[in-house]
């Protein structure tokens, strides 16, 4: 099995890792939703040891993720669990943190909302959810390139870039709240959600 490859993962993995080292400093077990190619997992896990990094994704992506894990095995890295939002129950893990990158704009809006509601339900109090990708702010694109990317996504049948206000509205009435928004390279952002008591 040849490994899948994403140039975007190579470009953003170091700045994301620098941030996760801080936000996950008191974390024991991370669930990654949508591990994709597996590149983030094999890069983050050894650098964040002894944190357990649990991959998850739709079944058709597992072979590619496992190919990366086969080449870069790590004691604290776990092979992917089946998790298709809207089809599967929450994975059976002890996760006290969740990470997802470049998934929210791929999902349809109802899937993205369900993902966030599931995180809000299953994270323990004090848990952290780090969500990376392009997001709109107050109904506006953050760059012309993001606007073009959004048009491309929707033409391909994907849900498209979501607005941060929309995400917060989805979580109204839950105990998951936005604690930090960090500007990242290539007009992306890292949203840090905290599970409150």
Query: What pLDDT is stored for residue 191 in this prediction?
Result: 98
Categorize the per-residue pLDDT at 8 as very low, low, confident or very high, splitting at 50, 70 and 90. confident
Establish if 153 belongs to a structural domain. yes
Establish if 66 belongs to a structural domain. yes
Phi-psi region of 41 (alpha: psi -120 to 50; beta: other; left: phi over 0): alpha
Residues 67, 83: Cα–Cα separation, whole Å? 18
Residues 123, 192: Cα–Cα separation, whole Å? 13
Residues 96, 124: Cα–Cα separation, whole Å? 6
For residue 25, what is the domain's CATH number?
3.40.50.150
Domain that holds residue 134: 7-195
Contact 171, 165 (CB under 8 A): no
For the chain, the domain total comes to 1
Contact 97, 122 (CB under 8 A): no
Average of per-residue pLDDT across 105-129:
97
pLDDT above 90 (res 156): yes
Residues 78, 70: Cα–Cα separation, whole Å? 11
Between helix 7-23 and helix 39-48 the angle, nearest 10°, is 30
Categorize the per-residue pLDDT at 102 as very low, low, confident or very high, splitting at 50, 70 and 90. very high
Establish if 1 belongs to a structural domain. no
Contact 163, 104 (CB under 8 A): no
Categorize the per-residue pLDDT at 128 as very low, low, confident or very high, splitting at 50, 70 and 90. very high
Q: Which structure tokens are listed for 189?
A: 């952002």
State what percent of residues in the chain have pLDDT above 70.
99
Establish if 2 belongs to a structural domain. no
Categorize the per-residue pLDDT at 1 as very low, low, confident or very high, splitting at 50, 70 and 90. low
User: What is the per-residue pLDDT across 160-193, written as a single tens digit (0 to 9) for each?
Assistant: 999 999 999 999 999 999 999 999 999 999 999 9
> Closest Cα to residue 33, out of 104, 87, 94, 96?
104
Average of per-residue pLDDT across 49-61:
97
Establish if 158 belongs to a structural domain. yes
Residues 173, 176: Cα–Cα separation, whole Å? 9
Q: What is the chain's mean pLDDT, rounded?
A: 96
CA 72 vs CA 68, 69, 91, 193: distances in Å? 6, 5, 24, 30
């Amino acid at each position: 099995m040849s490994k899948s490859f994403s140039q975007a993962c190579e470009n953003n993995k170091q700045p994301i890792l620098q941030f996760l080292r801080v936000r996950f400093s008191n974390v024991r077990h991370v669930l990654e939703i949508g591990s994709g190619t597996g590149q983030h997992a094999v890069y983050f896990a050894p650098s964040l040891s002894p944190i357990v990094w649990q991959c998850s994704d739709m079944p058709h992506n597992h072979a590619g993720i496992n190919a990366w894990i086969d080449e870069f095995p790590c004691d604290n890295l776990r092979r992917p669990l089946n998790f298709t939002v809207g089809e599967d129950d929450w994975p059976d893990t002890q996760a006290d943190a969740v990470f997802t990158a470049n998934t929210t704009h791929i999902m349809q809006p109802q899937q993205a909302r369900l993902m966030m509601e599931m995180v809000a339900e299953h994270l323990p109090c004090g848990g952290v959810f780090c969500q990376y990708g392009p997001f709109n702010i107050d109904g506006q694109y953050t760059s012309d390139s993001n606007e073009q990317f959004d048009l491309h996504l929707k033409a391909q049948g994907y849900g498209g870039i979501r607005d941060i206000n929309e995400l917060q509205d989805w979580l109204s009435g839950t105990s998951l709240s936005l604690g930090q928004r960090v500007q990242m390279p290539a007009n992306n952002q890292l949203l840090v959600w905290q599970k409150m008591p």
